[in-house]
Amino acid sequence: LLLLLLSMTQLLKSKHPFHFMLLKCDWPGRQEDITPESMRMCVKEALQQLHGEVGSSTQVDVMHVAGDKVFVRVPSKQLLKLRTALSVYTVAGDDPIEFTTIKVSHSLSSLSYCPQQ
């Protein structure tokens, strides 16, 4: 827990204006509905549920969706807010949904993803 807090503190003190996140979206029965538009809606709803109207105004860009992988760009100062909102967001509409953070980086190129075999 202490290591997690220290790493998040380092991210918050980042000199980079944006961070990129690679997320895995598990949306049982709705996998074909994972599109950039639906993910934008889910992210906005997650932020609004946890942080209210001010939280939902956080600038988040869903840059790309590939299957169940979602690439997101967020201002570095808002990264913690987004991660906490997605961690507790469990229902989209009437369907269960789960976001898992795979990687976070200040560089988009470092988000290359190779699942372990």
Which tokens sit at 19?
């961070």
Residues 50-109 have pLDDT tens digits of 999 888 888 999 999 999 999 999 999 999 999 999 999 999 988 999 999 999 998 888
Amino acid at 1: L
pLDDT of 42 reads: 94
Average pLDDT over residues 4-8: 55
Rounded Cα distance, 41 and 27, in Å: 14
Confidence of residue 9 (pLDDT cuts 50, 70, 90): low
H or E stretch at 4: helix 2-12
**pTM assigned to the model:** 0.79
- The answer to whether 109 and 21 are in contact (CB under 8 A) is no
Average pLDDT over residues 25-42: 92
pLDDT of 6 reads: 53
pLDDT of 55 reads: 80
pLDDT at 117 over 50: no
Which tokens sit at 82?
């987004």
